[in-house]
Amino acid sequence: MPRLMDMGLDKLNSLLLEMSTISENAVAASIEAYSKGKGASKGAEVREWSNRLQSLHRQVGDLSMEIIARYQPVASDLRFVKACFEISYGFFRYGRYALDIVQVMETFGDLSRCDRAAVVETAKRTQEMIRMSVDAFARKDVALAQRIPQLDDAVDESFRQVVKNYLGQKREAKCAISATLIMRYLERISDHASYIGESVVYIVTGVEPGDK
């Protein structure tokens, strides 16, 4: 017979799956806009998604506290509730950084004449990490979750390399500054993807993030 707590846990899972879809769409839209050099057309859409993610994150927090207060979960149930709040924050930050990327384009205007190849390539790798983090959570796939940090290292290196390249060459200021800002946001997205992967491992195995 299903436990009453199971309904709350199922609701948490559903909220996070909704967040995963919205956050993935938000980042994809912002990256598509940058690849075309113009982001104004995506601004309202990404802002709406970001606001929705913030609302859902609050719902996850409220529901998590309610489950703990009502049912006092232990063992794997408690791990799931604890991890859900961390994962929810990661999905929320995906949306927030997507909005930051769009706002960079709104600030600097037309970037179509800038060399955007390195940033777009890094963005593709970041999107792969998002997809992996989403799939790892949906399937509770430890092996997939553990692959994410390898890509995080590559994104970090891309960020450092792009900054070095801009420092060593004469580039239009708005191209250099916008690319550096967006690369930083992509680097932060990749960090959150790694955190989500660690949280999935914690849900399944009980191994705390950072533990060996």
pTM of the predicted structure, to 2 decimals: 0.92
| 49-61 pLDDT tens trace | 999 999 999 999 9
134 within a domain of the structure (yes/no): yes
Minimal CA–CA distance to 99: which of 61, 51, 151, 37? 51
CB atoms under 10 Å from CB of 137, counted, come to: 26
Minimal CA–CA distance to 64: which of 91, 88, 96, 93? 88
Phi/psi-derived region of residue 187, left when phi > 0, alpha when psi is between -120 and 50, beta in every other case: alpha
Q: Side chain identity at 9, as an amino acid letter?
A: L
210 within a domain of the structure (yes/no): no
- DSSP labels, 143-178: HHHHHHHHHHHHHHHHHHHHHHHHHTS---HHHHHH
Q: Which pLDDT score, from 0 to 100, does residue 123 have? A: 95
Minimal CA–CA distance to 39: which of 181, 188, 187? 181
77 within a domain of the structure (yes/no): yes
91 within a domain of the structure (yes/no): yes
| 37-49 pLDDT tens trace | 765 678 899 999 9
Q: State the CATH number of the domain containing residue 57.
A: 1.20.58.220
211 within a domain of the structure (yes/no): no
Domains contained in the chain, number: 1
212 within a domain of the structure (yes/no): no
List Cα–Cα distances, 113 to 23, 25, 178, 179, 208, in angstroms: 28, 26, 12, 12, 46
| 74-110 pLDDT tens trace | 999 999 999 999 999 999 999 999 999 999 999 998 8
142: domain range?
A: 4-205
